[in-house]
Amino acid sequence: MPPETWAAPSSPSSPPRPPRSARFDPAAEPADLAPLFDGASALFLHAAAVGEHGDAALAATREGGVRHVVKLSSGIIGKGADETNPIHVMHADLEERVRRSGLAPTFLRPNAFATNSFQWADRIRAGDTVRGPFAGALTAPIHEADIASVAARALLDDGHRGRPPPHGAPPR
């Protein structure tokens, strides 16, 4: 099934309307995809939605009137990261494509998602011990609803457009 792209209302003062869902065809020309974004000023972007076709998707959104991209990235991006890690490569590449697109970027970089802990549920219920490679590591899992709230705020609030990522992570 092709990925979906969601378009947000053009401004916080716009009357509420349901988000539009558009199927992204990576083989299409950006000009043919631009009407999918008509009336939208912001885009929520996930790497899985565009795969290797980030430039084409970003060109189509820009041609369709989008001016701001909120990209769900990863906390793996930052100082001292293993830049050979496939997750780092995927997110760093798409972040760079967003920067080059001319669209105002906002990068969300959460670390551990709360639902990832469900992977241990069966073992815990069975009374087993859960072991990990870094026993002393501390994490602060983030609930996905909180990530969604931040994404919605970034989409609808101009104050986040083009600002550098927090925590001293330098733009690439």
Find out whether 57 and 27 touch, Cβ atoms under 8 Å.
Answer: no
What backbone phi and psi angles, to 5 degrees, belong to 38? -55, 125
Query: What percent of the chain has pLDDT above 70?
Result: 78
pLDDT digits (tens, 9 = 90+) for 123-143: 999 999 888 777 787 788 899
Going by C-beta distance under 8 Å and a sequence separation of 6 or more, which residues neighbour residue 157?
Answer: 12
Least confident of 13-17, 69-73, 90-94, 113-117: 13-17
Query: CA of 36: how far to CAs of 41, 51, 100, 136, in Å?
Result: 12, 18, 21, 48
Higher pLDDT, 21 or 161: 161
Which pLDDT score is estimated for 7?
A: 46
